[in-house]
Every structure is written in C-alpha cells, then in structure tokens.
Amino acid sequence: MNFGATILGVDGVKLTKDEFTFFRDADPFGFILFSRNIDTPDQVYGLCSELRDAVGRNAIITIDQEGGRVQRLGAPHWQEWLPPLDFIQSAGDNAERAMYLRYRLIAYELTQLTIDSNCAPMLDVLVAATHDFLRNRCYGSSPYDISILGRAAANGMLDGGVVPVIKHLPGHGRAALDSHFALPHVDVSIEMLREADFVPFRALADLPMGMTAHVVYEAVDEEPATLSSEIMHLIREDIGFDGLIMTDDIGMKALTGGASQIVTRALGAGCDVILHCNASLSERIETATAAGKMNSKSQARAEAARASGSFLNNIDNTELRAELESLLA
C-alpha cells in the first residue's frame, strides 16, 4: 500500500484521540514537529512513538532545526545555535568543517528523540534584495561556497542518521517578500537563475528530499514554483534533482485558495508530497483526502528517502563538541 501523499503537523505535545484516528486512516508519509509540540526530551520521544503507532510503521518525522531563529528545539534541553550566516562568518576558514560538525551534533540531538529528518540545508543565495526573514538563515552570497557548506551540512546529518531536505527549490534568495505572508516575484532572467540560484541545488541534486519555494519566477511562469509544472520541469531536468519533492507549507499566505485546490494544483504540477504544518484537524483531513495516495514514482522516491537515513556513523559526541569549539575560538 502506498503512503498518503502528505507530511502533516500535529496540534500539541501529545496526540488527541481524533488525531490518532485520522493519522491511522490517512497514513501520511510523515510528520513535522514545531515548537508547540516540544516540551521535554521524554515528551518528544513519546510523541514520536505515538505518531508511528498511529500509522503502524516507522514513518519519517521531520523538523526545522536550522539553528538560530529557525530552531524548534532549544534551551534548556537542547543546544542553542547562532544563525547559519553568523556561524559561518565566525568559523571563517574553518566554515566547511564547522558546518559538518554543527549538523552532525544537531543530528545527534534529533536521533536521541527519534526525529530522523531535518529541513536543511538551506541553499538559497543571499543577494541585496533578500528579505530579512531569510537573510541570516543563508550560507552566503557565493553559489560555489554555498554548495560546499550545504554539502558539509548534509553529510553531517546523513552521518548522524538524519535525512536532509534541501530548500527552497529552485531558490528563494531573490525574494524581497516573506512568503509566509505574501507571494514574492523574482524578475531576473532564466540565464541568471541558472548561473547563480540553481548552482547549489544542482551541486546537491543527489540528495533524497527537497522543498519548494512559494515564489513566482517571472521568466519561467506566472505560477509560484510549488504550483508550476514549468518550474518542476526545470527542477527535474535542469537542476537534475530526482529526489522526493515536498511543498513548503501550503498554509502559508503566498498561496491562495482552499486546501484541496492547492493540493490538486501542487500534485498536478509535479510535487510528490504535500506539507501542511499549521492547520485545524478539519483542514488536515481535507488536505489528506485531496492528496490521496502517492503515485508509483513518488512512492519510490519516498522509500529511497526513508532508507537514506538508516545509516548511523557513531562518533564520540564530546569529541565533536570540543573540536567545534576549537574551530570557533
């Protein structure tokens, strides 16, 4: 039986009876956790167990643990991190190794809770127009450097048994608006996109999962990338990404229309799985019903992504922290 073509959010720190029943029936590919789902390590571990019990399998559970402003796990139980851009600047010439260690340590914290995916690395290229909501989450303004640092971050997670999710395909850096609240438009040529924005994604196109950008690229299509078959063709053929494509949260205000309409358009454009993070139970039911089950290609990508996080390279966590501190000293 194919997975449901959704990754869904959860209301609180434990499942309600109605949520458990819904997840059992909908069988989503996976789940995503937010700060509202986080209290103590034992509680998060228990919530992850509840989610997997609901679907009767070892479903993938992801989170946004970039470090910095976008960090769902924080003090007092988990490490607080500098925003990526500040961290990279602090590391200087040691940035590549420091990024590996940062995300290897993040992977350690996640796997202690049985969270086995992370929505990172973020490969968006920083430019003058980049909106503040994204700016210090970027890894820099050089596509080449971003490729190296993104690979280091991804390898740190993979070595720690965590599936990375590259974002935001095919590049959110030129967006001057926050897509949580409005639909950004990018008006540069396709040639410029290929020469800069696409470069880090092309360099990491072998990774198992990617997330779309709710951004219109006017040189390609009038629809936002999440809903654009033209952009999906570029992601698959030009960038060369054949992994699982998940939407960014369809509840963000960059997208308009009802949940079922957005789901139908996104899947029709070529997305594999729908991410719905912050929604009522009735809205999540609407999303799961409209999404249905994955098609055969999406199912194969989902199974490959799931398997990619199964290897855990056990390393002394204390030694890793000491090495990272020495690099940042």
Residues classed as catalytic? 180, 248
Q: Which two tokens stand for residue 88?
A: 């990279």
Q: How many helices (H) and strands (E) does the chain have?
A: 13, 12
The whole-angstrom separation of Cα 297 and Cα 307 is 16
Closest CA to 212 of 272, 285, 136: 272
Closest CA to 311 of 42, 57, 94, 116: 116
Could you tell me whether strands 209-212 and 163-169 are parallel, antiparallel, or unpaired per DSSP bridges?
Answer: parallel
**Residue 214: CB partners within 8 Å, gap ≥ 6?**
179, 183, 184, 224, 225, 226, 248, 252, 254, 255
Element (H, E) at 90: helix 84-91
Give me the phi and psi of 3, to 5 degrees please: -70, 155
Give me the phi and psi of 288, to 5 degrees please: -65, -35
| CA-only gyration radius of the chain, Å | 19
**Sign of the CA dihedral 285, 59, 300, 305?**
positive
Q: Which two tokens stand for residue 78?
A: 């988990």
* Look-up of token digits 């290609």: 297
Q: Which two tokens stand for residue 19?
A: 């949520």
Could you tell me whether strands 65-67 and 70-71 are parallel, antiparallel, or unpaired per DSSP bridges?
Answer: antiparallel
Q: What is the DSSP track for 164-218?
A: EEEEEET--TT--S-TTTS--EE-S-HHHIIIIIHHHHHHTTTSSEEEE---EET
